[in-house]
Amino acid sequence: MSASASAVMSRLSEIVGDPHLAASAQELAGYAIGGMRPSAAVCPGSAQEVAELIRFAAVEKLGVVACGARTKLEIGLLPRKYDLALDVTRLDRIVAYDPDDLTLSVEPGIPLQKLSAALAERGQFLPLAVPFANRATIGGTIASAMDSPLRQAYGTARDFVLGMEFVTGDGTLAKSGGRVVKNVTGYDLHKLMIGAFGTLGVITKINFRTFPLPRETRAFVANFESPARALDLRERVSRSPLRPLTLEIFSPGVADLFYGSAAARDGMNPLAPNLLTNQAWAFTSGVAGTQEALDRCEAELRAMAEQARGERFSILRGDQVAAAFGRKREFVAIALESSPAATILKIGVLPSRMDEILPGIESAAASENLRCATMARGVGVIYAALLPDASSEEARECVARAVTLIQDACDKAGGDATIPWCPMAWKSAFKIWGGDGEGLSLMRKLKAVFDPQRILSPGRFVGGL
Amino acid sequence: MPLGPARPGTQLPQAPPQAHEEAQREFALTLSGFTAQDKPQYEDYARCVHCGLCLNHCPTYRLLGREADSPRGRIRQMALVDQGRLELGDAFVTHIDRCLDCRACETACPSGVEYGKLVELARAQIEQKYRRPFASRVARNFVYRRLLPYPKRIAAAARFACFYQRSGLAAIARASGILRLLGLSEREALMPQIDREFFFSELGKTFPAQGTRRARVAFFAGCVAQVSFSELNRATIRVLQANGCEVVVPEGQVCCGALAAHAGVRDVARSLARTNIEAFRAADFDAILTNAAGCGSTLKEYGDLFPVDGAGADSSASRRTPAPKGEHEARSFSGRVRDVTEFLVESGLSFPLKPVPLRVTYQDSCHLLHGQKVREAPRKLIRAIPGVELVEMLHADQCCGSAGVYNVTETKTSLELLAQKMECAGQTKAQAIVTANPGCILQLRAGAAIHHTGQRVLHVIELLDRAL
């Protein structure tokens, strides 16, 4: 900010009120992205205030980064300019909830935990079992398009966000979609906001369809000597009439993570011993339904696992399901804690071609002598965590070589690999948003329309958007 | 010209509502790729809400992974042809032909779409509007119109096949490798073993009940079953007799028409239905029983062959058969039809069973499970036999690939399904695979031979017969 800094501050204070404006170094440190601090942080109390703030920022050309619980601010590049942190945690109301219609409207700052509790009272839930679930807000979850193990059964947020209200880069308070399950009017502009990392607008309200909570769950674990066999079981399950809630394949390296100290977090129950070992690939799947359905799932999963030549089958019930599910959900968080320079790739590929990538990740890590843990979702999303023991220059070079190998393997398999998490200082050395892809020119045009002044999270997303 | 509001007192000419509906029907017909007779009806196919729950229950979808080869995709294609937006051509015929008609989708469907009925009508349309290749036309004409409806011709063909199998010709053909050369070795494995004594000689006989007579039932003997499953038929009668049933095998009964109906040859199916309704009309049977799930399913649905007002009954067929029989009569006939396993469980087993030490697995016959919704009855009978251990196999409710003549017309797909089936059956380590339909038995026997599993294949009734 220039000489008129005090003028800017007084205008900000005018909009949100003094108690909701932070300018002290100590407070601002909490909003730092990779050590970069904003000049001010504001906590607006309404969508109108957000719009007002953005209008002002557009005039003053202030770089604005919207945030909630700040669990995922490390994703993406450093902002080109970071003048204002727009903290939406005061916008934490459930605006409307109609359990009979399975619809819900919330403000972005509501913590997932609080929201889940409210929905659980009516026997419902949102299938968003995302990492950092004990702290994350719904807004950040949607803006970063975090996926969850439940996408196997329910899809991603794109499948159950019905509408949104958001403020575009020129301060317009806009609405898209509605709050009915079968809304077909207009363009689904709100879907653009999912995974845009706040570069197209600031979300001020999100409408969801909710789902009935599964009553009873069980989980099945089988071990395999190779990823190919575990994937063979995935293929068999996907062609069977079973509809599991979750389906993940874990590399041998995950056993150490899940039985390690990082996983003993947030009061999570300990995992039963010997479910996973660092010698085998593990296929894990959660199922839900009535007793009869669960019995059938259990018998059929076991029979299919036998056909795929699996070994050491386990059935998890009750608390054990929760313990395993919690670790699946928090895979990223656990991996980040277990290394000072954890580098996590998120790979999207056709499920049928995962077998071309999984062995490549292992061999790339092995060739650089890196610890590595991989979680492959049944739908074709792979999280590969490279876990160097130090954050040194040497480690960076090792990781960089491994990443290049993995990204090349992904290219060959027609997939795409981004790097959501790695030490901020390493980011410039990596293609953290993967290949440019053919969508980039369209994305540039969208950015120009939604945020003509380029003030919303400038430079953080792919292609410098 | 836009009409303004009618002035008071002016009477606008009103078309009678019927005429309007007729006009609409006529207009729809000008667009439709279907003929008016035996077409998939809008009311039936529009019940599909495209939810896709059927997809993974469909064997061809699971195998091929293509929407066009799924129930939802096929229904869509029917709708498109009916709306005149898709040609009733090669593509349509390929996908409709590739359907097994196993009806697993009906069990899965939450909207109650009667898919079996739809696909049979789609095939009836193909029969009317599509010109198949010459060889296919000749073969279909021979089998459906010249062979199956006539018991004497079936017997003659069987004697010829019997000569092939027993004279040493078959051994020569197999050894010489000529079958493999012609690509027929697998199909030859599917060929039914012809009996020395045909069942035709039993027609018209009555078999007394053992002990107190508890019921009087009519037995439906089938067509090909009479020359290759005579022993199964006799076993069925023995079991029924032991269970206190007087069994009548009415004379004049013919093929049930299932194969013809499934292939879209509805006129033949209708005429066979009429003959059967006539043959079973006479006596006061408590039930009409069959040991073939495929036949049972068709016999129970005779009503669907005859449109409510009888309008769909084609003139050529009615000329050949006695008096035209309407839908009502067909339904009262169907109401008395039971699968033999269903009947035995309903009436209860009244005879003591000897132990049969055998580890078995049960393969659901599609037309029993999905066509007639009979799942538990055969399992209850198997469990009732002391010494028999029933081990459920994975995907027991999925078609084995037999599906009537499917294993002959779509051999490749059929054999792939069979391979999956044998993997699942082998996994149970059962000594025998038990099922409830002669068609499935043939297919599973071929599977056991091709994959060298050493498993025997039995009908539920044969198992009961051993316990007598």
Determine, yes or no, domain membership for A124.
yes
What is the pLDDT at residue B12?
65
Residue B3 has pLDDT above 90, yes or no: no
- Under 8 Å CB pairs connecting chains A and B tally to 23
Q: How many domains in chain A?
A: 4
> Is pLDDT at A128 greater than 90 in this prediction?
yes
A-chain CB neighbours of B393 within 8 Å are 303
Choosing from A272, A300, A332, the residue where a domain stops is A332
Q: In whole angstroms, what is the distance from residue B280 CA to residue B333 CA? A: 8
Q: Residue A166 domain-assigned?
A: yes
Q: Does A121 lie in the same domain as A39?
A: no
Whole-number pLDDT of residue A283: 96
| Distance (Å, whole) CA A462 – CA A168 | 19
Q: How confident is the model over B248-275, as a mean pLDDT?
A: 92
State the average pLDDT over residues A392-421: 91
Report the C-alpha gap between B446 and B456 in whole angstroms: 11
A299 touches chain B (CB under 8 A): yes
Domain of A394: which CATH number? Answer: 3.30.70.1130
In a domain, A222, yes or no: yes
| pLDDT tens profile A63-86 | 999 999 999 999 999 999 999 999
pLDDT tens digits, residue range A234-261? 999 999 999 999 999 999 999 998 888 7
Query: Same domain for A65 and A122?
Result: no
| pLDDT computed for residue B316 by the predictor | 41
Is the interface score ipTM higher than 0.85?
A: no
- What pLDDT, on the 0 to 100 scale, is given for residue B308? 55
User: How close is the nearest chain A Cα to the Cα of B40, in Å?
Assistant: 27
Q: Is A168 domain-assigned?
A: yes
CB proximity B108 to A under 8 Å:
yes
Has residue A436 been placed in a domain? no
Same domain, A204 and A99: yes
pLDDT at A266: 66
Final residue belonging to a domain, choices A263, A297, A332:
A332
CATH of the domain at A47: 3.30.43.10
Residue B294 has pLDDT above 70, yes or no: yes
| pLDDT tens digits, one per residue of B331-380 | 888 999 999 999 999 999 888 899 999 999 999 999 999 999 999 999 99
Domain end, chosen from A332, A353, A379, is at A332
Contact A310, A222 (CB under 8 A): yes
Residues A75 and A107 in one domain: no
Nearest residue in B to A235, CA atom: B62
In whole numbers, what is the pLDDT of chain B averaged over residues? Answer: 87
Which of the residues A239, A295, A296, A301 would you substitute to probe the B interface, choosing the one with the greatest number of B C-beta atoms within 10 Å? Answer: A239
Judge if A319 and A262 occupy the same domain.
yes
Asked if A241's CB is within 8 angstroms of B394's CB, the reply is no
- pLDDT level of residue B311 (50, 70, 90 thresholds): very low
B62: closest chain A residue by CA = A239
Percent share of chain B, pLDDT over 70: 90
Q: Are residues A225 and A183 in the same domain?
A: no
Res A181: pLDDT: 81
Nearest Cα residue in chain B from A298:
B394
Mean pLDDT (whole number) for B455-461: 95
* Residue B7 clears pLDDT 70, i.e. is over it: no
pLDDT for A404 equals 92
> What's chain A's average pLDDT?
91
A34 found inside a domain: yes
Contact between chains at A303 and B423 (C-beta distance less than 8 A): no
Mean pLDDT over B308-313 rounds to 46
Residue B156: its pLDDT value, please?
87
Looking at the predicted structure, is the pLDDT value of residue B443 above 80?
yes
Residue A161 lies in a domain: yes
* Residue-level pLDDT at B106: 95
Looking at the structure, do residues A99 and A148 belong to the same domain, yes or no? yes
Please give, rounded to a whole number of angstroms, the shortest distance from the CA of B50 to a CA of chain A.
15
Q: In this prediction, what percent of chain A has a pLDDT beyond 70?
A: 98
CB of B62 within 8 Å of a chain A CB? The answer is yes
- CB spacing of B395 vs A299 below 8 angstroms: no
Instruction: Tell me: do A418 and A361 sit in the same domain.
Output: yes
Query: What is the average per-residue pLDDT within B231-249?
Result: 94
B-contacting residues in A 91-130 (Cβ below 8 Å): none
User: Which of A239, A303, A304 has its CB closest to that of B62?
Assistant: A239
Q: For the domain that residue A157 is a member of, what is the CATH number?
A: 3.30.465.10
Does B375 contact chain A (CB < 8 Å)?
Answer: no
Contacts of B56 in chain A (CB under 8 A): 239-241
Tens digits of residue pLDDT in A193-210: 999 999 999 999 999 999
For residue B85, what are its two tokens?
A: 């937006």
Residue B394 to chain A, least CA–CA distance (Å)? 6
CB-based contact (8 Å) between A239 and chain B?
Answer: yes
pLDDT for residue B31 is more than 90: no
Where in the sequence is the domain holding A118, given as residue range(s)? 94-212
Q: What does the pLDDT look like over A345-377, one tens digit per residue?
A: 999 999 999 999 999 999 999 999 999 999 999
pLDDT of residue B324 exceeding 60, the answer is: no
For residue A183, the distance in angstroms to the closest alpha carbon of chain B comes to 17
pLDDT of residue B37: 87
Assess if residue A444 is contained within a domain.
no
Secondary structure element (H or E) that encloses residue A376, with its range: strand A371-377
What is residue A169's three-state secondary structure? coil
Lowest-pLDDT choice from A94-108, A444-458, B150-164, B200-214: B150-164
* B108, B395, B427 member nearest A306 (Cβ): B427
SS3 string of chain B? CCCCCCCCCCCCCCCCHHHHHHHHHHHHHHHCCCCCCCCCCHHHHCCCCCCCCCHHHCHHHHHHCCHHHCHHHHHHHHHHHHCCCCCCCHHHHHHHHCCCCCCHHHHHCCCCCCHHHHHHHHHHHHHHHCCCCHHHHHHHHHHHHHHCCCHHHHHHHHHHHHHHHHCCHHHHHHHHCHHHHCCCHHHHHHCCCCCCCCHHHHCCCEECCCCCCCEEEEEECCCCHHHHCHHHHHHHHHHHHHCCEEEECCCCCCCCCHHHHHHCCHHHHHHHHHHHHHHCCCCCCCEEEECCHHHHHHHHCHHHHCCCCCCCCCHHHHHHCCCCCCHHHHHHHHHCEEEHHHHHHHHCCCCCCCCCCEEEEECCCHHHHCCCCCCHHHHHHHHHCCCEEECCCCCCCCCCCCCCCHHHHCHHHHHHHHHHHHHHHHHCCCCEEEECCHHHHHHHHHHHHHCCCCCEEEEHHHHHHHCC
Which residue in chain B has the smallest CA separation from A304?
B394
Q: Are residues A327 and A364 in the same domain?
A: no
Q: What is the pLDDT of residue B68?
A: 95
The residues facing B216 across adjacent strands are B246
Q: Which residue has the higher pLDDT, B166 or A152?
A: A152
A70 with A50, same domain: the answer is yes
Same domain, A170 and A117: yes
Distance from CA of A303 to the nearest CA of B (A): 6
Partners of B394 on chain A (C-beta within 8 Å) are 299-300, 303-304, 307
> Which residue did the predictor score with more confidence, A10 or B167?
A10
Cβ–Cβ below 8 Å for A239 and B392? no
Write out chain A residues lying below 8 Å of B62, CB-based.
Answer: 239-240
Confidence of residue B313 (pLDDT cuts 50, 70, 90): very low
Please check whether residues A284 and A324 belong to one and the same domain: yes
**B321 pLDDT more than 60:** no
Range with the poorest average pLDDT among B5-9, B145-149, B383-387:
B5-9
